[in-house]
Structure 1
Amino acid sequence: MSLKNTDHWGATSQLLHWTIAVLILSIGAVGLVMGELPRSPKWFWVYTLHKSLGLTVLALVLVRIAWRLYAGAPPPVEGTPRWQARLASLTHGAIYVLILAMPLSGWLYDSASGLRPFRWFGLAEVPKLSPSHEALADAMHETHELLFWVLIALVIGHAGAALYHHFVRRDATLARMLPRRWLAGSVVPTAAPSPDLPPEDPR
């Protein structure tokens, strides 16, 4: 499998895509459960895990953006209407922005909340982005939650579009983000005319 992106997403792009997707789902689950836990040592452990995973996603999405600039992206699948390709491009861009903004807003919220510095997975202390500021902390907390729900809505739309292309249009949109041997038999290839045959008589 090619590392760079050709007509198919390469191995590096696939690994980053699915790793980030799994981490975002994990962070969302932890974040939703975290609010229901009593303030105890377990709560602080879960809270630190949530923040550590968020900063991991921030680092990975920066790597993914850099890799995409280097490796490029496959062109739209043949036959995709221009408006769908344009909408997909805008959706991808919005998802990138949100995946960047969410951990940054959470980081800023944590910094402004006045809590003691936390250690990323217990390994390295994370610096503060701002001094303690109650109004800023409140604003970033609300922003963080809003960005999460907007991101979830876009991800659902993104996944729904991929399933639509796979099961309705039966093209390679979804298969291109999976190893080539996966879903290989479920995609209907575009028929190409044989160069040895004359063109059909339009009459």
Structure 2
Amino acid sequence: MSRANTFSSYGSVAKTFHWLTALLIFSAFPLGYVANGLAHQIQSPGFDGSPAVIERATLLFSLHKTLGVTVFFTALLRILWALSQPKPGLLHPDRKAEALAAEVVHWLLYGSLVAVPLSGWIHHAATTGFAPIWWPFGQTLPFVPKSEALAELTAGVHWVLVWTLAAALGLHAAGALKHHVIDRDATLRRMLPGRGRLPQPPAQAHSLAPLLAALLVWAGALGGGAAIGVFGSREAAPEQAGGTAAPVVATVPGATGWTVDSGTLGLAVTQMGSQVAGSFGEWTAVVNFEEPAAPGPAGDVEVTVSIASLELGSVTAQAMGADYFDSANFPTALFKAEIEKLEDGYQAAGTLTIKDQTVPVTLPFDLELEGDRAKMTGALTLNRLDFGIGKSLADESSLAFAVEVPVALEARRAE
């Protein structure tokens, strides 16, 4: 069998690309469908935190994403090969409507084989969550920022294009069967393995009409998706848009009171070996501070955090569940501490209460003072099990024990 195409048949390379692509697609489709169902289960408020369900979803999503990236590169190679080869002619070009439909579907297939995995890949790079792609080249993409708004948009685009691809595949398969069973011609046999006598197609010409029709189909599908709201409507959180979230701040009157103008209160966990980072959008801080002449007591601080304001990428809803923060029953966290100046730096030593579990903690931090302005940065590491978070995940195979909490704020002395 010749590796190259002819006007009457496909070569071995084109056939290999065709059937390899079919195998990859029909493997990725069910994996994505089942994994998506598990994701909805995990993100539901009633999820019990079952590690088996989380591990199964992660495995299926990683398989789906890895196959998707493989489809993307296979499709690119297939298109490059097709551009270098003669295209076998239609056996019945005189059937104008049928010929137009066949070529429109071919354009939809070729375009979707690139657009579907690419949209999924961009969603993966833009979001923060679990289920890595199994390859050594990292999980990000050039020029794709971590953005919840972009992740929602590309998730919707991916969903619409997946069903467009599914419809094109169905029409393609139906057309092949129609030629084989009803017309009894060689259209399907030209793509099957092996050699055989194949008829010479009649002379024919091609136009841009099928491509234009395919573009209209994609535009209609995306327009329909926009009409039913599948692209998401949430605006990016301030920290995702490039700024910092401004907390709701309370102050105590007096010379030592400070007003927090802006700041971030972050949270980072390691799930399935990948870091998932986010931040709390609503928290109040009461700060009393007076710089001492020597190391020693310097004031106190009390911070109240709205748990439901946490944004943690694709696992935000999961984090609110009963086995994790249980925000429905424990809506706030409370940090109370005494501020102390050290020989080198500062610390806030006190207690942190989450889910009615009060644990001693110490937050070391750096402080820059310029008159009545102050900049503070610090971080502490917590053990999630100390607060009864993720108790069903008793080891670190799914979710690490350590939780990083970075803090940064700018404040001014209250009048």
The bucket for the TM-score relative to the shorter chain is 0.7 to 0.9
Task: Measure, in 1, the Cα distance between the counterparts of 2:93 and 2:151.
Answer: 48
Larger relative contact order (CA 8 Å, sep ≥ 6):
1
Q: Specify the alignment match of 2:190 in structure 1.
A: 176
Residues 63 and 122 of structure 1: CA distance in aligned 2, closer, same or farther (over 3 Å): closer
* One-letter amino acid matched to 1:112: A
1:150 aligns with 2:164: yes
Measure, in 2, the Cα distance between the counterparts of 1:2 and 1:73.
Answer: 14
Q: Is the 8 A contact 2:21 2:75 kept in 1?
A: yes
Matching residue of 1:28: 29
Q: How many angstroms does 1:35 deviate by?
A: 1.8
Instruction: Tell me what 1:167 maps to.
Output: 181
Please list the CA deviations of residues 70-94 of structure 1 after superposition, one character each: whole Å capped at 9, or x if unmatched: 1221111156523322321121011
1:31-51 per-position Cα deviation (integer Å, ceiling 9, x unaligned): 011023345233222211111
What letter matches 2:17 in structure 1? L
TM-score (norm: length of structure 2)? 0.42
2:268 maps to none
Q: How far 1:123 moved relative to its partner?
A: 3.6
Measured in 1, the distance between the counterparts of 2:15 and 2:22 equals: 11
Point out where structure 1 has 5 or more consecutive residues left out of the alignment: 191-203
Query: Paired residue for 2:138?
Result: 125
Using the size of structure 1 for normalisation, the TM-score is 0.82
Query: Do the aligned partners of residues 122 and 104 (structure 1) sit closer, same or farther apart at CA in structure 2, a change above 3 Å counting?
Result: closer
1:91 maps to 105
Q: Distance in 1 between matches of 2:130 and 2:183?
A: 52
Structure 2: which 5+ runs fail to align?
43-52, 201-415
**TM-fit CA distance, 1:128:** 2.6
Q: How far is the alpha carbon of 1:181 from its aligned partner?
A: 5.1
The 5 A counterparts of 1:29-44 are 29-37=30-38, 38=42, 40-44=54-58
Which residue number corresponds to residue 200 of structure 1?
Answer: none
Q: For 1:40, what is the secondary structure of its paired residue? A: helix
Once residues 136 and 150 of structure 2 are traced to their aligned partners in structure 1, the CA distance between those partners, rounded to angstroms, is 28
Q: Does 1:139 align with 2:140?
A: no
- Give me the CA root mean square deviation: 2.3
Which structure is higher in helix share?
1
The whole-number CA distance in structure 1 between the counterparts of 2:4 and 2:139 is 33
How much does 1:101 deviate? 0.7
- Aligned counterparts of 1:87 and 1:40: Cα–Cα separation in 2: 43
Computing the radius of gyration over CA atoms, which structure comes out larger, 1 or 2?
Answer: 2
Q: Is the 8 A contact 1:117 1:128 kept in 2?
A: no
Counterpart code for 1:124: F
Q: Which of 63, 77, 83 in structure 1 is aligned with 2:77?
A: 63
Displacement, 1:150? 1.2
- The size of the alignment, in residue pairs, is 185
Higher relative strand content: 2
